């Protein structure tokens, strides 16, 4: 699938979400699902499997996303899968998030944390990342149990590692330098 086709899907999804005035919710929910899809082998294989009927894939999406999500999110996911584009799901959703942020004159920071962040924490983090990068940042949170504490943010190719693991590594290196 070409970049142009990815962008076409992303623009269509944005148009739907904007027309329904659900852009923020839909983008966030799609992003969370895409990151789960990316890391969960069983889910990815099930949605990519050409032998599994489309209605089974749709039922799986409904089961995972369910009533917790905006009513458009599962329908958008099912459309992508039914069109045979499950392999490109992550790229499509990342493009949706990028275009949505661009329309709001922002950049997306994929933030990995071990625990959910409340609105105040997200706002503070967005402000700190905006200050650090000189750009207006929109936070897309991904829960990642591998992050022991703190957060790891990725904005494009730039990574800002504020995790406990990174700080421990820095302290270890500092001690090694002082001991030699």
pLDDT digits (tens, 9 = 90+) for 105-139: 788 888 999 888 998 998 999 999 988 888 888 88
Whole-number pLDDT of residue 53: 94
Whole-number pLDDT of residue 148: 82
Burial environment of residue 88 by CB neighbours within 10 A (0 to 12, 13 to 18, 19 or more): middle
pLDDT at 146 over 80: yes
Place 22 in a pLDDT band, splitting at 50, 70 and 90. Answer: confident
Place 30 in a pLDDT band, splitting at 50, 70 and 90. Answer: very high
With a pLDDT cut of 90, the percent of the chain lying above it is 44
Residue 57: C-alpha distances to residues 2, 62, 64, 72 (Å): 24, 9, 11, 16
Tell me if the domain spanning 1-104 has CATH number 3.40.640.10: no
pLDDT at 179 over 90: no
Give the residue range(s) of CATH 1.10.520.20 domains in the chain. Answer: 1-104
> Which positions ≥6 away from 167 have C-beta within 8 Å?
150
Q: Of the ranges 13-27, 131-145, 155-169, which one carries the lowest mean pLDDT score?
A: 155-169
pTM, two decimals, is 0.68
DSSP state of 109: E
Between 54-65 and 41-48, two packed helices, what is the crossing angle to 10 degrees?
150
């Amino acid at each position: 699938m070409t970049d142009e086709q990815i962008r076409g899907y992303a623009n269509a999804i944005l148009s739907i979400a904007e027309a329904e005035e659900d852009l923020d919710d839909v983008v966030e929910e799609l992003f969370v699902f895409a990151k789960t899809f990316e890391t969960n082998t069983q889910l990815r294989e099930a949605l990519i499997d050409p032998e599994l009927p489309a209605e089974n894939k749709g039922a799986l999406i409904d089961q995972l996303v369910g009533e917790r999500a905006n009513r458009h999110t599962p329908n958008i996911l099912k459309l992508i899968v039914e069109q045979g584009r499950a392999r490109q799901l992550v790229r499509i959703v990342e493009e949706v998030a990028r275009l949505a942020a661009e329309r709001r004159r922002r950049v997306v920071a994929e933030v990995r944390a071990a625990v959910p962040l409340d609105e105040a924490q997200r706002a503070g983090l967005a402000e700190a990342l905006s200050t650090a990068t000189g750009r207006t940042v929109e936070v897309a949170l991904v829960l990642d149990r591998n992050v022991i504490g703190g957060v790891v943010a990725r904005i494009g190719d730039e990574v800002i590692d504020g995790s406990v693991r990174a700080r421990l590594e820095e302290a270890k290196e500092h001690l090694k330098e002082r001991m030699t």
